[in-house]
Amino acid sequence: MSRLLPLCSKALTMAAAGAAKRTLSTTASATVPRRVLGNHSAAWSQWPARAARTNMWGVQQVRTMFIQTDTTPNQDSLKFIPGVPVMQEAGSTAEFLDARNAMSSPLAKKLFQIDGVRGVFFGPDFLTITKDQDAIWQLMKPDVYSAIMDFFASGQPIILKNADGSNAEAAQSNDTMILEDDSETVQMIKELLDTRIRPSIQDDGGDIEYRGFEEGIVKLKLKGACRTCDSSTVTLKNGIENMLMHYVPEVTSVEQVFDAEEEVAQLEFEKLERRLMNQ
């Protein structure tokens, strides 16, 4: 988009041309995108002071990003769709549950600096942000939009490389990769998870991670919006479990698994819930 404004003099025109050249790299974030919220569209314009002063005296090229938002079954999680690929490797995802483990991602690190952000999940072409229960989306959204736009304008990788040169996101997409030593049952489970179940879960702003199959029990980890959703148990039992049992007779149940830190947090939450109920 180009914006042409009247100039005061030829000298000012030449001075502005030099200023515009110096600030061109910063103007990718000068326009806040059109956002689609449910069935309503709203155009937002926010200009940094330096870019605004430059545009007063010259012609400035501005890139615009259109970010859509979509609700999820979890009222504390919101799905942001920037219209460009998020994870560089096809099918890969990444989840960050606190600012400490977000250090490997410039975008996740920046999002955790926003008050109220409790979790960040990157999907193939979307981001899911989970907030604290008492945080207000209307107050958080402008900062979230700004952080997303600034990141994609910067050209940085969304996940930094490890010390050995490998990309941390590569490990995220291997959970349903069919291996040579997988039994026929495990292969069928992985194929169903990857082709039938995962797309539906990602539509809701989350994902699943295959953690194993033992004695008829499929172990899965819920991620993104689904991880803390009130209906996560229903998703596992009525959705995933029923489908796997229908197509794979060897499956008898599906269980959700947690990482060590998540298990501690879950136990503390259950203790708090019991105390509140007994008051």
Give one DSSP letter per residue of 132-166, joined into a string.
Answer: -TT--HHHHHHHHHHHHHHHHHHT--SS-B-TTS-
116: in domain: yes
Which has the minimum average pLDDT: 78-87, 120-129, 182-191, 257-266?
257-266
83 with 8, same domain: the answer is yes
DSSP character at residue 32: P
13 with 140, same domain: the answer is yes
The pLDDT assigned to 106 comes to: 95
The pLDDT assigned to 10 comes to: 37
pLDDT reading at 69 higher than 70: yes
CA–CA distance, 179 with 186 (Å, rounded to integer): 9
Which of 154, 186, 217 marks a domain boundary?
154
Instruction: Give the bridge partners for 94, in sequence order.
Output: 122
167: in domain: no
58: in domain: yes
132: in domain: yes
Q: Which amino acid is at 122?
A: F
The pLDDT assigned to 6 comes to: 37
Instruction: Give the bridge partners for 67, in sequence order.
Output: 35
Q: Are 240 and 231 in contact (CB under 8 A)?
A: no
When pLDDT is averaged across residues 56-77 and rounded to a whole number, the result is 71
19 with 74, same domain: the answer is yes
Q: Are 127 and 148 in contact (CB under 8 A)?
A: yes
CATH code of the domain covering residue 241? 3.30.300.130
147 with 186, same domain: the answer is no
- pTM of the model as a whole: 0.67
What tens digit of pLDDT does each residue of 196-239 get?
Answer: 999 889 998 989 899 999 999 999 988 888 877 777 777 777 78
Which ranges constitute the DSSP H helices of 57-134? 106-111
Q: 124 or 161: which carries more pLDDT confidence? A: 124
Query: How many structural domains are present in the chain?
Result: 2
144 with 9, same domain: the answer is yes
Q: Are 24 and 59 in contact (CB under 8 A)?
A: no
Confidence at 4, pLDDT banded by 50, 70, 90: very low
75 with 119, same domain: the answer is yes
Confidence at 59, pLDDT banded by 50, 70, 90: very low
The pLDDT assigned to 9 comes to: 38
What tens digit of pLDDT does each residue of 145-179 get?
Answer: 999 999 999 999 999 876 555 555 544 557 888 89
CATH code of the domain covering residue 114? 3.30.1370.70
35 with 140, same domain: the answer is yes
Please name the residues in contact with 117: beta carbons below 8 A apart, sequence gap of 6 or more. 111, 129, 130, 131, 132, 135, 140, 144
Residue 249 domain boundaries = 175-277
Percent of the chain's residues with pLDDT above 90: 42
CA pseudo-torsion sign 115, 121, 126, 132: negative
165: in domain: no
222 with 266, same domain: the answer is yes
When pLDDT is averaged across residues 5-13 and rounded to a whole number, the result is 37
Which has the minimum average pLDDT: 103-117, 172-186, 239-253?
172-186
Which of 154, 186, 212 marks a domain boundary?
154
Confidence at 260, pLDDT banded by 50, 70, 90: low
CA pseudo-torsion sign 47, 52, 54, 58: positive
